[in-house]
Amino acid sequence: MRAQLAAALALAGAASALAAAPPPVEVGDGRYVMGTLLAVTLEAPDRERGRALLERLYGTAERLDHALTLFDPGSPLSQLNARAGAGPQTVDPALADVLAESIDFSRRTRGAFDVSVGPLMALWRAAAARGSPPSPAELARTRARVGSDGLRVLSPTRAEIVRSGAAVDLGGVAKGYALDRMLEGLRADGVASALLDFGESSFWAVGAPPGEEGWRLLVRRPDAGFAGIATLRDRAISVSESFGEAFEIGSRRYGHVIDPRTGRPLERAALAMVLAPTAAEAEAWSKALLLLGPRAGLALLQAEPGCEGLLVEAGGRLHASRGWQAETRFETAPEGLR
């Protein structure tokens, strides 16, 4: 009898504590990091703890920005590039980690994604500045310095760029990598609902907003209008667009996504969205899907566990992987918004 009474009192106490617990509050902020806006929205037990968590998350992003940027000649990445061909170097652990992930992504995408594309990026920036495309000889010389087989990660703090004149550009994966590290902070704090939005191109959707099935994201078309709405829950997603940062040389328009296999930028308008188990993986595959196209790209993507994708062409034609609809509850945009 006493045991039953004690159990009843314990249950009553727990119920009273639950009833007294205040509802979570939504906190959010936006900061300029990695050259774009990083927006975070999350549910926290109270506003003070939510603001403290936001500060820790932005601190993580800012530390990784310093380690992985090319815009600071003193950054760990810039220093590694400057010593290309000089043998193994001591590097920041985050740099070694993202390099190891990127080498694996290059293998899995059959070379369509490759962070050693740095020399090609520099070649086409110079071509745009002077107003004439690179010559076939310039392109061939530059391509000879590109390839993930020239990158080596020897330990958590040692890496090497084998070829002299080669260079790593992490612009296609750094935001996703940062979101994955921020997600670790969210999980450590027990956050069950959050949306991390890095420049409207890389996202982590954790749980769902109160009363909703998931976080709803508007899917744009690469020309004008909208393709539809995707609903995400506990998934990472990346959006890549061929003409997101377009430039012109003469009368030809080129996209900012360069094919490391050919050395040439994309010249067709398209937008790719990829769901993946991590945001870094989603970023790599969204670029690869743009370059590989609907048939080869989706066939390769569908062999990857936990990955789904959508390719949107100019004019609004959609190509989706087999599980895209089930994973995103994708709703096609009404006629007036297309």
Helix (H, G, I), strand (E, B) or coil at 189: coil
pLDDT over 90 for what percent of the chain?
A: 80
User: What type of residue sits at position 206?
Assistant: V
* pLDDT, tens only, 90-142: 999 999 999 999 999 999 999 999 999 999 999 999 998 999 999 999 999 99
DSSP letters spanning 284-296: HHHHHHHHHHHHH
pLDDT over 70 for what percent of the chain?
A: 93
What is the spatial distance between Cα 116 and Cα 139, in angstroms, rounded to a whole number?
Answer: 15
Nearest in space to 221 (alpha carbons), one of 331, 291, 317: 317
Question: Do 260 and 312 reside in the same domain of the chain?
Answer: yes
Could you tell me if residue 10 is inside a domain? no
- pLDDT tier at 6 (50, 70, 90 boundaries)? very low
pTM, full prediction = 0.91
Nearest in space to 170 (alpha carbons), one of 287, 272, 290: 287
Could you tell me if residue 14 is inside a domain? no
Could you tell me if residue 235 is inside a domain? yes
* pLDDT, tens only, 20-73: 567 889 999 999 999 999 999 999 999 999 999 999 999 999 999 999 999 999
Question: Do 250 and 322 reside in the same domain of the chain?
Answer: yes
Question: Do 269 and 197 reside in the same domain of the chain?
Answer: yes
Could you tell me if residue 12 is inside a domain? no
Question: End of a domain among 106, 134, 161?
Answer: 161
Question: Do 331 and 234 reside in the same domain of the chain?
Answer: yes
What is the spatial distance between Cα 151 and Cα 84, in angstroms, rounded to a whole number?
Answer: 10
pLDDT at 8: 43
Contacts of residue 303, defined as CB under 8 A and 6 or more positions apart, other chains included, come to none
Residue-range definition of the domain harbouring residue 323 = 25-68+172-337
- Higher-pLDDT residue of 286 and 316 is 286
Range name among 48-52, 126-130, 147-151, 285-289 with the lowest pLDDT average: 126-130
Q: Are 179 and 200 in contact (CB under 8 A)?
A: no
- pLDDT tier at 260 (50, 70, 90 boundaries)? very high
pLDDT at 249: 86
Whether residue 217 has pLDDT greater than 70: yes
Whether residue 220 has pLDDT greater than 50: yes
Write the CATH number for 247: 3.10.520.10
pLDDT at 14: 44
Arithmetic mean of pLDDT over the chain: 91
Question: Do 33 and 180 reside in the same domain of the chain?
Answer: yes
Question: Do 274 and 297 reside in the same domain of the chain?
Answer: yes
Whether residue 173 has pLDDT greater than 90: yes
